[in-house]
Amino acid sequence: MLLSSEKKTADMRSAYGDTLVELGRDDPRIVCVGGDTTDSLKTKKFGDKYPDRMFNVGIAEANLVSVAAGLSIAGKIAFASTYAAFIPGRCVDQIRNAICYPSLNVKLVVSHAGLTVGPDGASHQQIEDIASMRTIPNMRVIVPADAVAVKHLIRTIARTPGPFYLRLARPSSEVIYADNAESFLIGRGNVLEEGSDATIIACGLMVVMAIEAAMELKRKGVSCRVVDMFSIKPIDSELVVKCAKETGAIATAEEHNILGGLGGAVSEVTAETYPVPVKRVGVRDTFGESARDEEIDTLLEIYGLTATEIAKAVLEARSRNRK
């Protein structure tokens, strides 16, 4: 069973922190580097359990990721974590040269990505990271949709050698996957809903909205496939092409700038392999703004990150479908 049968919410960061503790128990090579945000990232639990293997370097992200590189050179599996605004926001160069170029075993797991950071405002709303991380050779980019996916994907990246960038959102979010779902392979997307008229390819918190949009469209008689493309790099090209061929139109949805992110990655595949209309839903190349937690839904509405927007995008893509 892939999808959860009950409706509940869970926190991605706690899923990360708890999984890291479990990994640390089984493998002494697991270490963690934090940057004065360990409480928030829930890596503090790991530090409480394994104080020798937790290194808090303070508010110094360039140093943070480079120390992680050094740890991996000496044989450790290094998790480096803070807010997405700072990793990769403040240290793309170090990630490129110290981690990706030598293809080191460093896992950048960051939180507070996208607009849903909320009250901190645009300075902390990281919406460029998928684009910047995905263009660096050797880096793989993972955006899980819920806490269950986080749990599985953290384990997967821990046992897969080489650099990873894994992006978490701040809010507690709806759980999509069944607890025992096993289908989280790097380079593969998950088809959550079948459909024949169009496909929504989404990642992160937008996957829930994609499912909602598909339901909304179903009521209008449009059969919509929904794909959770948590593996943005390597992307599941085969699945993208299959969707293009079988459904003829694609909408993408991400909590990221529409430039260079998931929408960009999907468009690259279709444009080169099997061109079909693609409509991207995301932040439309603008900075966000502050919103209190209870105002986040409105914030997302203002910036066009809703199920309704996704449904509109599907219809628009379909209308341009020459099939």
Closer to another protein by Cβ: residue 70 or 121: 70
Identity of the residue, 36 or 268, whose beta carbon is nearer to another protein in the bound complex: 36
DSSP state of 209: H
Q: Is 103 in the site for another protein (CB under 8 A)?
A: yes
Cβ proximity to another protein: between 77 and 262 the closer is 77
Q: Which stretch binds another protein (CB under 8 A): 11-19, 50-58, 170-178, 300-308?
A: 50-58
Site stretch for another protein (CB under 8 A), options 101-109, 117-125, 232-240, 255-263: 101-109
Q: Among 67, 153, 265, 317, which residue interacts with another protein (rule: CB under 8 A)?
A: 67
Decide: is 73 part of the binding site for another protein (CB under 8 A).
yes
As a whole number of angstroms, the distance between CA 74 and CA 76 comes to: 6
Residues 6+ apart with CB under 8 A from 236: 187, 188, 189, 229
Does 97 bind another protein (CB under 8 A)? Our answer is yes
Of 71, 235, 265, 283, the residue at the interface with another protein (CB under 8 A) is 71
Burial class (CB in 10 A: 0-12, 13-18, 19+), 26: exposed
User: Which of residues 102, 119, 187, 234 is near another protein by CB under 8 A?
Assistant: 102
Q: Report in angstroms how near the CB of residue 160 gets to another protein at its nearest.
A: 14
Of these, 31, 169, 175, 200, which contacts another protein (CB under 8 A)? 31
Q: How far is the CB of 40 from another protein (least distance, A)?
A: 20
Q: How far is the CB of 82 from another protein (least distance, A)?
A: 13
d(CA 83, CA 241): 34
Positions in 187-226 near another protein (CB under 8 A):
none
Taking Cα atoms as reference points, which of 132, 148, 105, 120 lies closest to residue 8? 148
Residue 61 designated active-site: yes
Rounded Cα gap, residues 239 and 189, in angstroms: 7
Give the contacts of 133 (CB within 8 A, at least 6 positions apart): 88, 95, 139, 141, 165, 233
Length of the chain: 323
Query: Which of residues 20, 21, 78, 311 is near another protein by CB under 8 A?
Result: 78
The set of residues, in sequence order, having a beta carbon less than 8 Å from that of 45 and lying 6+ positions away, is 17, 18, 20, 21
Task: Compute the least distance from the CB of residue 44 to another protein, in Å.
Answer: 17
> What CA–CA distance (Å, rounded) separates 260 from 98?
23
* Residue tagged active-site, from 22, 61, 272, 289: 61
Instruction: State the CB neighbour count (10 A cutoff) for residue 226.
Output: 23
- Nearer of residues 99 and 141 to another protein, judged by Cβ: 99
| Closest to 84 in 3D by CA, of 137, 27, 141, 46 | 141
**CB of 163 closer than 8 Å to CB of 139:** yes
12 binds another protein (CB under 8 A): no
- Asked if residue 60 binds another protein (CB under 8 A), the reply is yes
Question: Which residues are known to be catalytic?
Answer: 61
Q: Which residues bind another protein (CB under 8 A)?
A: 31, 33, 52-53, 55, 57-58, 60, 62-63, 66-76, 78, 93-94, 96-98, 101-104
